[in-house]
Amino acid sequence: MNLVFLGPPGAGKGTVAQKIADHYDIPHISTGDLFRGEIKAQSSLGKKVESILKSGELVPDDLTIDLVKNRLVKDDARNGFIMDGFPRTTAQADKLLEITSIDYVINFIIPDESVIERLSGRRTCKNCGNMHHIQFMPPLKEGICDVCKGELLTRDDDRPEAISNRLQVYKNQTQPLIAYFQDKNLIKDIDAEPAPETVLERVKQVLEA
Ligand code: AMP
């Protein structure tokens, strides 16, 4: 099953994608995670994109498309994948459909106020990338990741200035993809406001219908 998860930052795509990926035994491919991995490794790509991620702007299409192409040729993606955070522009979407087919695009719908509330309270583990939320998913011990006991930090792009920029970037560059995929009859809308377990069940229902 080849899936795309579309929606603004903070819509819960990553959390649900990981669970769906485990359920169907397909990889969860998050371009944001791949870029953060490159930055952590201080690779040449990582050095190029570090300031872009901090600001909440998009990495140029050619770099992003290369990253995805290199990921999709790996063995584990042969039976399907979930793309989380890609495509984010029409050029990326054109390219994706050129290199592979897509079964469904799950469109996570959530109002701006909820995005702001979710992102500003989000704390990410410095070690393993696991996410908590100070209000909705607090760690057992303040500032410490439940999974690996690593330190929980606020991502640079979860700071208020970057959040509003990311929302704007989403509206200008990514939201037009809803109509793009609607035209191709691939969109399935999901209300992303409820708790992640509820959203997960709804996504499963759509995929199993
Ligand atoms: P995310 O974790 O999906 O919110 O992505 C974090 C950041 O990585 C974004 O704000 C962009 O700077 C960059 N990024 C991730 N995916 C893409 C993409 N498909 N195109 C361009 N930039 C991306």
| Model pLDDT for residues 78-129, shown as the tens digit of each residue | 999 999 999 999 999 999 999 999 999 999 999 999 999 999 999 999 999 8
CA of 64 to the centre of ligand 1 (A): 9
Burial 35-57 (b: 16+ CB within 10 A, else e): bbebbeeeeebbeebeeebeebb
Q: Is 203 a domain residue? A: yes
Ligand 1 atom having least distance to the Cα of 52: 12
Q: Is 89 a domain residue? A: yes
Tokens of 188: 């399935």
Ligand 1 atom having least distance to the Cα of 60: 21
Which residues are annotated as catalytic?
A: 13, 88, 122, 155, 166
pLDDT, average across residues 179-186 = 98
Residues near 174 by Cβ (< 8 Å), separated by ≥ 6? 6, 8, 87, 88, 89
| Model pLDDT for residues 34-52, shown as the tens digit of each residue | 999 999 999 999 999 999 9
CA of 1 to the centre of ligand 1 (A): 23
pLDDT, average across residues 65-85 = 96
Q: Where are the beta strands (DSSP E) in 72-205?
A: 81-84, 104-109, 122-125, 131-133, 152-153, 187-191
User: Is 32 touching ligand 1 by the criterion CB < 6 Å?
Assistant: yes
Backbone angles phi, psi at 39, to 5 degrees: -70, -45
Q: Is 179 a domain residue? A: yes
Q: Is 182 a domain residue? A: yes
Instruction: Supply the range of the domain harboring residue 92.
Output: 2-27+74-111+160-208
Q: Is 52 a domain residue? A: no
pLDDT at 161 over 90: no
Using an 8 Å Cβ cutoff, are 102 and 80 in contact?
no
Name the one residue in this structure whose structure tokens are 């819960």: 12
User: Is 35 touching ligand 1 by the criterion CB < 6 Å?
Assistant: yes
Q: What is the dihedral of CA 38, 43, 48, 54, to 10 degrees?
A: 40
Q: Is 120 a domain residue? A: no
Q: What is the reported pTM?
A: 0.92
User: Is 31 touching ligand 1 by the criterion CB < 6 Å?
Assistant: yes
Domain tally for the chain? 1
Q: Is 98 a domain residue? A: yes
CA of 36 to the centre of ligand 1 (A): 9
pLDDT for the residue 129? 87
Ligand 1 atom having least distance to the Cα of 36: 8
Q: Is 126 a domain residue? A: no
163: Cα within 13 Å, side-chain hemisphere:
18
Q: Can you give the CATH number for the domain in which 106 is found? A: 3.40.50.300
113: Cα within 13 Å, side-chain hemisphere:
0
User: Is 52 touching ligand 1 by the criterion CB < 6 Å?
Assistant: yes
pLDDT, average across residues 159-172 = 93
